[in-house]
Amino acid sequence: MPGAAFFDLDRTLISRSSSLSLAPAFHRRGLLRRRDRTKAMLAQLVFIRYGAGTSRVGRTAETGMAFLKGVPVEVMREIVVEAVDSAFKPHVYRDALDLVARHRERGEKSFVVSAALQEIVDALVAELGFDGGLGSTAEVVDGSYTGRLARRLDGGAKADALATLAREKGIDLAESTAYSDSASDVPFLEAVGHAVAVNPDRTLRAIAAERGWRVLRFRDRAFSTR
- Domain extents in the chain: 4-216
pLDDT digits (tens, 9 = 90+) for 185-206: 999 999 999 999 999 999 999 9
Could you confirm whether 122 is annotated as catalytic? no
Catalytic residue among 8, 95, 181, 201: 8
**Alpha carbon distance 129, 206 (integer Å):** 32
Distance CA 187, CA 179 (A): 12
Residue 21 identity = S
The yes-or-no answer on residue 10 being catalytic is yes
Residue 50 confidence (pLDDT): 40
pLDDT at residue 63 in the model: 57
pLDDT at site 154: 85
Q: Spot the catalytic one: 10, 95, 154, 185.
A: 10
- 73-83 and 118-128 helices, crossing angle to 10°: 40
DSSP alpha helices (H): ranges in 9-135? 23-28, 34-50, 54-68, 73-83, 94-105, 118-128
**CATH 3.40.50.1000 holds for 4-216:** yes
Question: How much is the pTM?
Answer: 0.86
- State the CB neighbour count (10 A cutoff) for residue 191: 23
Tell me the per-residue pLDDT of 33-64, one tens digit each, with 9 for 90 and over. 554 444 444 443 343 344 444 444 444 455 56
Give per-residue burial for 21-56: e unless 16+ CB within 10 Å, then b. bbbbbbbeeebbeeebeeebeebbeebeeebbeeeb
Instruction: Report the C-alpha gap between 162 and 157 in whole angstroms.
Output: 9
Nearest-angstrom CA–CA distance, 200 and 216: 8
Task: Count CB neighbours of 222 within 10 A.
Answer: 17
